[in-house]
Amino acid sequence: MFEIRNLNVRYDAIRVVHNVSMKIRQGELVALIGANGAGKTTVLKTISGLIRAEAGHIFFDGREITKLPSHAIVSCGIVHVPEGRQIFSKMTVGENLKLGAFLQKDKPRIEERLERTFCLFPVLKQRLRQTAGTLSGGEQQMLAIGRALLGNPKLLLLDEPSMGLSPLLTRQVFDVLGELKKEGITMLLVEQNAYDALEISDRTYILETGVITMEGKSSQLIEDPKVKAAYLGGD
């Protein structure tokens, strides 16, 4: 369904992503983990067209999207939940959710997805007329994910959804990702919380200083001594 081939990205004179390649099959939840500054967010931004690749190719549903503008990539069905949530803080929760469905034309389906979002995040229904900037950090993350779901994603990109959240809220967010996985939504998850990412995902890529150093089934990587030592606090 999705493939990156030999992706290179640079900021000015510094190359931050080096020959990254990865594949995602339909219905998979794939994790991309690594330390701060490894290039994880850069990979997601390049997929979304927010940053231009220096070299390499990105394919989605059999079509190359490497040079498409961001709005065209969204139209293809790739929806990005960015790092830091990036909600519209002065707009209401309801207005934020409606913006997620901006490109959708089927009103009954929009209502259906809205109700599904409320089932996943009941607090959003309670806060519908509240200004989004007054929500707690956890509620804002729920809103960011809910807004993305209104876009009817074929591929959902999630950048650090647990950032700044308490362990309880982190668990709630990962429970929702588990529900979305059961529904067959394809996801690429960037996450510093390596244990939770490995636990929920089908496969994982490990990125170190812009280079993929390991990849494989998450159930195997979570038992790997090198991965334990580097990311899970093991010996």
* Residue 23 pLDDT > 70: yes
DSSP state of 147: H
The Cα–Cα gap between 202 and 219 comes to 8
Q: Assign domain 2-77+153-232 to a CATH class.
A: alpha beta
**How high is the pLDDT of residue 234?**
57
Radius of gyration (Cα) for the chain, nearest Å?
17
Work out the pLDDT band at 10, boundaries 50, 70, 90. very high
Residue ranges of the chain assigned to CATH 3.40.50.300: 2-77+153-232
Neighbours of 124 (CB within 10 A): 24
Q: Is 173 exposed, middle or buried (0-12, 13-18, 19+ CB in 10 A)?
A: buried
Q: CA torsion, points 173, 85, 96, 176, in degrees to nearest 10?
A: -10
SS3 9: strand
SS (H, E, C) 151-212: CCCCEEEEECCCCCCCHHHHHHHHHHHHHHHHCCCEEEEECCCHHHHHHHCCEEEEEECCEE
Strands 29-33, 211-217: pairing is: unpaired
Q: What's residue 57's pLDDT?
A: 98
Burial category of 63 from C-beta neighbours within 10 Å (exposed 0-12, middle 13-18, buried 19 and up)? exposed
Quote the pTM value: 0.92
pLDDT in tens, 49-102: 999 999 999 999 999 999 999 999 999 999 999 987 788 889 999 999 988 888
d(CA 185, CA 78): 11
